[in-house]
Amino acid sequence: MKKRTYYYHDLKNDDFAATNIKKTALPEDYKYVDRNIFYRAGELAIRCIAWPIVFLILKVGYLQRVRNRKVLKSAKGRCCFIFGNHTDYMLDAYNPAVLTFPRWSHIIANPDAVSIRGLGTVVKMLGVVPIPTSLKGMKNYLQGINKLIELKRVIAIYPEAHIWPYYTDIRPFGTESFHYAADAGAPCFTCTNIYQQRKLKLIRRPKVVTYVDGPFYPDMSLHRMDRIRKLRDEIYSAMKARVDENPRYDYCEYIYVEDASLATNKKN
């Protein structure tokens, strides 16, 4: 069976998520944190129903094994941030909940995630924090992030920003995702998914080993931008070290093309 092939032009901006979700604009006053008692009861119920299903999907569907999860205990009772490589829609959506259970986790995501008609509230209850679609909504968004920090929640971010299915390296990313943790002085962890060949080689889809590393702390003695850059470099280095120390199983193939118009095409 041939590998699925993706053609890319830009390591930082090409996206192969292929979710085909029609994005809708977020209201400028979108309620990121709802403390209404009825909403909170619904949120608890949704998460209690979803968690065992998510656990089974990762353990049975992906054959996921987690290594070094114990380091997360060092952030008990504090807000913390988890940074991961962005290589699978479902795996990346479910990983934070499984890794941090029973703590409540949230994922900063594109607004596509809450754009599915009839499911926006459910997705929000499951922890999705959508990025605003307008500059005017940014102030409200930042207030929501600060509230989650006050509530000592776990916040997951995928600094690569775009999904590259089963990609086996760490793509370059900037400093944009590290402002929140650097400002809060919060402990940070990496969650690096490594794809390995299954023992039953007739099944080509890989199994997943997830490595957790940290904590990494922002250096509060540095000026803000220096602190952010240092944190970004430490996170990138930890993730890169994990993929480099493990054998790579390329379930998909990525080929560079000069013509940017060909970058979204793929062949099976």
Secondary structure of residue 35 in the 3-state scheme: coil
Burial 62-80 (b: 16+ CB within 10 A, else e): bbbebeeeeebeebeeebb
pLDDT at 255: 93
d(CA 126, CA 104): 9
d(CA 80, CA 77): 9
For residue 254, give its domain range: 4-267
How do residues 129-141 score in pLDDT, each as one tens digit?
999 888 888 999 9
What's the whole-number mean pLDDT along residues 78-91?
95
Say which DSSP state 168 is in: -
**179: number of CA atoms within 13 Å, CB side?**
7
Specify the CATH number for the domain of residue 21: 3.40.1130
pLDDT at 232: 98
pLDDT at 268: 44
Confidence of residue 19 (pLDDT cuts 50, 70, 90): low
How do residues 28-54 score in pLDDT, each as one tens digit?
888 999 989 999 999 999 999 999 999
**Domains: count for the chain:** 1
pLDDT at 155: 97
3-state class percentages of the chain: helix first, strand second, coil last, to nearest 5? 40, 20, 45
Residue 1 reports pLDDT greater than 50:
yes
d(CA 182, CA 180): 6
Confidence of residue 83 (pLDDT cuts 50, 70, 90): very high
Q: Which residues contact 94 (CB under 8 A, 6 or more apart)?
A: 54, 57, 58
Share of the chain above pLDDT 90, in %: 70
Nearest partner of 185 among 226, 234, 143, 228, judged by Cα:
228
Query: Who wins on pLDDT, 136 or 208?
Result: 208
Residue 128 reports pLDDT greater than 70:
yes
Full-model pTM? 0.92
Pair 173, 237: CB distance under 8 Å = no
